[in-house]
């Protein structure tokens, strides 16, 4: 009997190891989507939830703590990252004010609404108002402390999204380093992330690199299309797209500050489907290619060359075109959907044209050939494991009879 148990245990270990490597048990984790609200014609939150459900998207980020959204998303399977607006940082430095804020804006909705993160400010390290930076870490610490007092800190992480402009060097990735003028506060922030296991969020837009230097930056490289890519001369790692290179540059910058093991995720990335005459590359075909290729990579639970075994968390920007956003035309045309929930372009998501329709027929239809091969290999291996287990049991039973 002892030998039989050992055999069965070995089979299970082999199966679990295979499943982990090939994704049989792991499955596909949803990518995230940024749900902005700077528009006067956007659908009600209930309709937005219907749309997300029809697309089988289970992660979203909003740019405030809109009570209508938090209420509408209750008892759904959508995980939400909410945001503290930049102008609130000075107030929330005070632990008592932070406790009041969490008690009012988070606690009444949790856990019915699956709030998993709080983004404290947005791109504060590079904001034009330099005074905000002094408030950032104290506000983060106070909000985390308030969550701890209420017993929510193990469920809700606290971090802040950063612009890629926080780096003074990003090419090659191994040269990644933060600007010296923010290094002091950056060190405090990284210490907080390290101690709480929260991710470092980066807003990364390869589109801007291409727009600024279209004659120097290969379009296929920024769109994730097949290309020769680049090799980091120091690490010899090969990069076939700019986004992964940007993420790894941030990881190297964090390491230069003396920290290791902090997860880096992409809080925003996207491509505009329309732009002004001087916004090179802002067009439907490029936007569709960029977002479709990201979906393909996410479907494979892919990591970056520096961290190939750690799935890169990505939140696409954005769910809707938002007609009240200031700035150039591109700013109002990052959405996958129009405000009436029709697609701006097809990125491989099969969705209904209207959230009022039945959602049962909508699904994510994007499946890469690599995923299909993986699933077939997993099925074959599972059958093999079942056969081995059956063989062991029947052999044991036969031996017992004779």
Q: Is 104 left (phi over 0), alpha (psi -120 to 50) or beta?
A: alpha
**What are the phi and psi torsion angles at 163 (to 5°)?**
-75, 150
- Cβ neighbours for 279, distance < 8 A, ≥ 6 positions apart: 211, 272, 328, 329, 330
Beta-carbon contacts of 316 under 8 Å, excluding residues fewer than 6 positions away, are 31, 32, 33, 34, 269, 270, 291, 294, 336
Taking the C-alpha atoms of residue 13 and residue 196, their distance in angstroms, rounded to an integer, is: 32
How many angstroms separate the most distant Cα atoms in the chain? 86
Tokens describing residue 214:
């279209």
Are the beta carbons of 259 and 188 closer than 8 angstroms? no
Asked about 79 being catalytic, the answer comes back as: no
Phi, psi (degrees; rounded to nearest 5) at 382: -60, -45
Helix (H) and strand (E) counts in the chain: 12, 15
> Which of 123, 263, 279, 322 is labelled catalytic?
123
Catalytic pick from 263, 268, 279, 322? 268
- Is the Cβ–Cβ distance between 42 and 72 less than 8 Å? no
Would you call 46 a catalytic residue per the annotation? no
> What is the distance between the alpha carbons of residues 221 and 227, in angstroms, rounded to a whole number?
6
CA–CA separation, 51 and 393 (whole Å): 49
For residue 17 the two structure tokens come to 């190891």
Sequence-ordered strand ranges (E) for 208-359: 230-231, 238-239, 264-269, 314-316, 349-350
Catalytic positions, written as ranges: 123, 268
């Amino acid at each position: 009997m002892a030998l039989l148990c050992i055999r069965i245990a070995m089979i299970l270990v082999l199966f679990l190891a295979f499943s982990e490597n090939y994704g049989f048990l792991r499955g596909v984790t949803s990518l995230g989507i940024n749900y902005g609200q700077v528009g006067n014609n956007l659908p009600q939150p209930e309709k937005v939830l219907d749309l997300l459900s029809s697309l089988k998207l289970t992660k979203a980020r909003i740019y405030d703590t809109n009570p209508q959204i938090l209420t509408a998303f209750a008892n759904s399977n959508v995980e939400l990252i909410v945001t503290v607006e930049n102008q609130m940082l000075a107030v929330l430095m005070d632990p008592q004010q932070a406790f009041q804020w969490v008690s009012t804006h988070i606690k009444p909705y949790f856990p019915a609404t699956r709030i998993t993160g709080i983004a404290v400010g947005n791109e504060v390290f590079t904001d034009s108002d330099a005074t905000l930076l002094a408030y950032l870490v104290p506000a983060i610490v106070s909000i985390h402390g308030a969550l701890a007092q209420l017993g929510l800190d193990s469920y809700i992480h606290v971090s802040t999204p950063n612009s890629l402009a926080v780096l003074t060097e990003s090419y090659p990735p191994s040269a990644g380093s933060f600007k010296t003028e923010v290094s002091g506060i950056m060190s405090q922030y990284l210490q907080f992330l390290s101690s709480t296991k929260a991710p470092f969020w980066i807003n990364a837009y390869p589109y801007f690199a291409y727009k600024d230097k279209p004659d120097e930056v290969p379009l296929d490289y920024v769109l994730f299309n097949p290309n020769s890519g680049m090799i980091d001369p120091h690490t010899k790692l090969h990069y076939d797209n700019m986004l992964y290179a940007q993420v790894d540059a941030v990881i190297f910058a964090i390491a230069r500050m003396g920290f290791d093991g902090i997860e880096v995720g992409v809080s925003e990335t996207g491509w505009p489907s329309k732009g002004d005459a001087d916004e090179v590359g802002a067009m439907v075909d490029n936007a569709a290619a960029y977002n479709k290729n990201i979906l393909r990579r996410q479907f494979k639970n892919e990591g970056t060359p520096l961290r190939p075994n750690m799935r890169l968390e990505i939140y696409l920007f954005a769910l809707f075109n938002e007609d009240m956003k200031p700035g150039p035309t591109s700013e109002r045309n990052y959405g996958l959907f129009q405000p009436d929930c029709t697609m701006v372009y097809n990125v491989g998501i099969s969705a209904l044209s209207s959230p009022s329709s039945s959602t049962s027929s909508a699904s994510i239809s994007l499946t890469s050939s690599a995923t299909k091969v993986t699933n077939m290999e997993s099925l074959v291996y599972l059958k093999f494991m079942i056969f081995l287990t059956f063989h062991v049991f029947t052999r044991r039973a036969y031996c017992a009879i004779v």
